[in-house]
Amino acid sequence: MAVDLPAHPALRPLPLHYEPISGEVADTLRRDLGARAVDRARTAHAAPYGYYRVTGEQALFVKVSPRERLSHVQAVQALVTQLQGAGCPVQPMLGAPLHITEDAMGLIYPYIPERFAQDSTSEAGQVGAALRGIHEALSSIAPSVAPAKISEQWHAVILRLRNCASQDPLVGEKAADILSRWEAVVDMLDQGSQLIHNDYHRGNVLMGPEGVVAVLDFDDAIAATGSPLIDLAIGLERFCLAGAAPALGARLSAAFLGGYGRGLADLSAGELECIATARLLFSLGILHANPRWDDPGWQAEHEKFIGLLANWQMWQQMLVEAGLRP
């Protein structure tokens, strides 16, 4: 499994920085999309892959991806179309993929100005409510293929991670602990199993004056079924806990869960910590399976996940202060 470094590597993303470009890709986008100007975002992706902003009669966002991913892209688009029909705030693709090169295709979307959630209880509640709507819609959508249970995918990767000689001591300790009680972990990961988003963080949720405008990146949603608690754990980690002072983190967590509509009394902070730990270990396992220690982008991702892993014991207490059971 290849590592696709994220467009927004930081926990608190900033809008993409675009620069004017010329050349074959720009000429193609001008010709086929009637663009007056083409800008490319500065990311870790090697050209021609990456993100482009097209200015013309309509402002467009173009993601250039490997053509070999076409069947995956089509499956994701079919899912997003169903979510749009259910009234979820999503960003469906416009038309068929555009031919960029023999190896690359352009996925075209309406351009939505990037504004990400801030540390306010109102926006935390809006983000939680949007997730609830997506979960309700996903629960009634049958997978286009028969995806594996997420617990099976994660177990294989975490097992390899534990046996990796080059890992951080903290990672080895956490992996051994999770694997020692894997039967209980499986119950958490597969509880109420359905399609989930599985990457619900600030960079994938665009905000507007009235709340959530679009939830992006459903690439993981078609890969495996799992408990909605996985998205709750990720959402709490990224929107409420990471980078927040304890008192603020507790307030944001309570607002997020209130917006979602999940009662505090029926959630356990320890359960969410265990789910989050398993997911972070899975992410680190993917990175360790594709080591690129000399790549600054890869190294930044590795350090990010290590930092998140180290903080969850403290965050578990913040969730208790928000009203969850220990």
150, 197, 97, 110: CA torsion to nearest 10: -170
| Cα 276 from chain centre | 13
CA-to-CA distance for 17 and 67, rounded, in angstroms?
25
Neighbour count for residue 152 (Cβ, 10 Å): 13
pTM of the predicted model as reported, rounded to 2 decimal places? 0.95
Q: Dihedrals φ, ψ of 113, to 5°?
A: -55, 140
Angle (deg, nearest 10), helices 182-190 and 150-162:
140
Enter the tokens of residue 14: 């900033």
Tens of pLDDT, residues 39-64: 999 998 899 999 999 999 899 999 99
All domains of the chain, ordered by start, with CATH? 18-110 (3.30.200.20), 121-322 (3.90.1200.10)
Per-residue pLDDT reduced to its tens digit, 223-262: 889 999 999 999 999 999 999 999 999 999 999 999 999 8
- Give residue-wise pLDDT tens across range 260-299: 998 767 789 999 999 999 999 999 999 998 888 898 889 9
Closest CA to 253 of 128, 118, 117: 128
According to the model, what pLDDT value does residue 3 have? Answer: 59
The token pair that represents 35 in the structure block: 């663009």
**Tokens, residue 48:** 């021609």
